[in-house]
């Protein structure tokens, strides 16, 4: 009898909970705080602000969205803050990039956030394009092994957003001298323009506005993109944002006549997915109810269909779209839960080749 009443209570409380949740699914009169663990003015902050009006418009109940910057510790401080303070009703969101994901995957010191346990509300690609200097004699990606000059790449830090780029060099078997220690992709691009480096990666919005003019002037040669995830979850497709350029997968196949495989490719695929395909991801508390996530998935679809969003995103990202829902969440989580072999490979590569300490 006792167990029976317990059961009843459980059913009752689930019902009440469900009721509350369905009311909470509509964010009427609520404020959603979007935490960006970088400085205002950075690419992530700008993207969050870019999406803000569309989320306000298409989420049920038209909540007020407040984008807050919490920079520090290379985004670890802001993510740790989220771990401690996030609410589980979907009103606190962590909007961040691979700079938060990579230290988590690598198990670096100071990481207190459980990124792989978080729910994924929506995601926006943050694809990147590799390009080189015409002085190398390279005309396209297929010439990459025939450079007349030693290839020099300028980057920030091996364990942050440069990781997929460096891994792509490993996959392709390139002999690249990687100079790390720049304070941002901007200064690295400037060093390319000054002729100090001759191989560079830039994220799409910057590529479109900064590098495309140089391509037209004959000062830069576009090479490849990280690629996009196909229906089977593999990073093989061409990036729809730059459909003229091959993906790393294609470049490999073209160079070696077979599919890339092995630990280098597995590591690249995992890290490149969270960096490029799901580059900007909105995370929520692990206990966030499913219908809140459904509401966000619906809003993401509505935003993608919004003609104003389509027009604006055409200008900024060449028409990138939001993704959300179970498939996105599954892909992000599987990329975040890299296999022990991949983790071991990454840690070894970083410590032997790039002197990173763990």
Residues 310, 314: Cα–Cα separation, whole Å: 6
Give the end-to-end CA distance of the chain in Å, rounded to a whole number. 56
**Shortest distance, CB of residue 265 to another protein, whole angstroms?**
25
Q: Which of 142, 157, 234, 318 binds another protein (CB under 8 A)?
A: 157
Burial label for 293, CB within 10 Å (0-12, 13-18, 19+), is buried
Strands 92-96 and 280-284: antiparallel
Considering the rule CB under 8 A, would residue 69 count as an interface residue with another protein?
yes
Residues with Cβ within 8 Å of 66's Cβ and at least 6 positions away in sequence, in order, are 31, 32, 33, 34
Residues 76, 71: Cα–Cα separation, whole Å: 8
Considering the rule CB under 8 A, would residue 337 count as an interface residue with another protein?
no
Considering the rule CB under 8 A, would residue 27 count as an interface residue with another protein?
no
| Segment contacting another protein by CB under 8 A, of 36-44, 266-274, 284-292, 324-332 | 36-44
Q: Which helix (H) or strand (E) holds 226?
A: none
Considering the rule CB under 8 A, would residue 46 count as an interface residue with another protein?
yes
Contact 160, 167 (CB under 8 A): no
Q: Take residue 327 and report the two structure tokens written for it.
A: 């498939």
Q: Which residue has the tokens 């830069």?
A: 220
CB closer to another protein out of 40 and 325:
40
CB closer to another protein out of 185 and 238:
185
Considering the rule CB under 8 A, would residue 263 count as an interface residue with another protein?
no
Considering the rule CB under 8 A, would residue 184 count as an interface residue with another protein?
yes
Residues 196, 135: Cα–Cα separation, whole Å: 12
| Segment contacting another protein by CB under 8 A, of 8-16, 24-32, 200-208, 269-277 | 200-208
Q: Take residue 108 and report the two structure tokens written for it.
A: 């670096």
Q: How many amino acids of this chain bind another protein (CB under 8 A)?
A: 64
Q: Which of 26, 30, 40, 87 binds another protein (CB under 8 A)?
A: 40
Binding site for another protein (CB under 8 A): 39-43, 45-46, 49-50, 52-53, 66-74, 76-77, 80-81, 109-110, 112, 152, 156-160, 177, 179-184, 186-187, 189-191, 193-197, 205-206, 208-210, 213-214, 312, 315-316, 354-357
């Amino acid at each position: 009898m006792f167990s029976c009443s317990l059961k009843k209570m459980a059913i009752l409380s689930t019902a009440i909970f469900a009721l509350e949740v369905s009311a909470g699914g509509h964010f009427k009169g609520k404020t959603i705080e979007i935490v960006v663990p970088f400085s205002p003015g950075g690419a992530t902050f700008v993207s969050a602000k870019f999406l803000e009006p569309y989320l306000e418009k298409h989420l049920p109940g038209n909540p007020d969205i407040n984008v807050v910057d919490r920079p520090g510790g290379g985004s670890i401080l802001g993510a740790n803050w989220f771990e401690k303070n996030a609410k589980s009703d979907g009103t606190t969101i962590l909007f961040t990039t691979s700079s938060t994901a990579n230290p988590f995957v690598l198990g670096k010191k100071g990481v207190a956030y459980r990124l792989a346990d978080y729910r994924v509300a929506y995601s926006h690609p943050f694809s990147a394009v590799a390009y080189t200097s015409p002085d190398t004699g390279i005309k396209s990606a297929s010439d990459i092994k025939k450079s007349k000059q030693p290839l020099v790449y300028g980057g920030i830090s091996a364990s942050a957003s440069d990781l997929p780029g460096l891994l792509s060099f490993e996959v392709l078997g390139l002999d690249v001298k990687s100079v790390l220690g720049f304070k941002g992709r901007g200064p690295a691009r400037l060093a390319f323009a000054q002729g100090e480096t001759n191989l560079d990666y830039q994220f799409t919005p910057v590529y479109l506005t900064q590098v495309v003019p140089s391509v037209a002037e004959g000062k830069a040669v576009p090479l490849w993109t990280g690629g996009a995830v196909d229906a089977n979850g593999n990073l093989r497709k061409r990036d729809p944002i730059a459909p003229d350029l091959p993906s790393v997968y294609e470049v490999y196949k073209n160079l070696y006549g077979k599919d890339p495989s092995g630990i280098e490719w597995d590591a690249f695929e995992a890290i490149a997915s969270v960096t490029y395909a799901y580059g900007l991801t909105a995370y929520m508390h692990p206990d966030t109810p499913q219908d809140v996530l459904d509401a966000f998935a619906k809003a993401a679809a509505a935003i993608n269909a919004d003609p104003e969003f389509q027009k604006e995103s055409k200008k900024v990202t060449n028409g990138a779209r939001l993704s959300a829902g179970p498939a996105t969440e599954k892909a992000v989580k599987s990329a975040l839960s890299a296999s022990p072999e991949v983790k071991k490979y990454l840690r070894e590569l970083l410590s032997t080749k790039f002197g990173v300490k763990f």
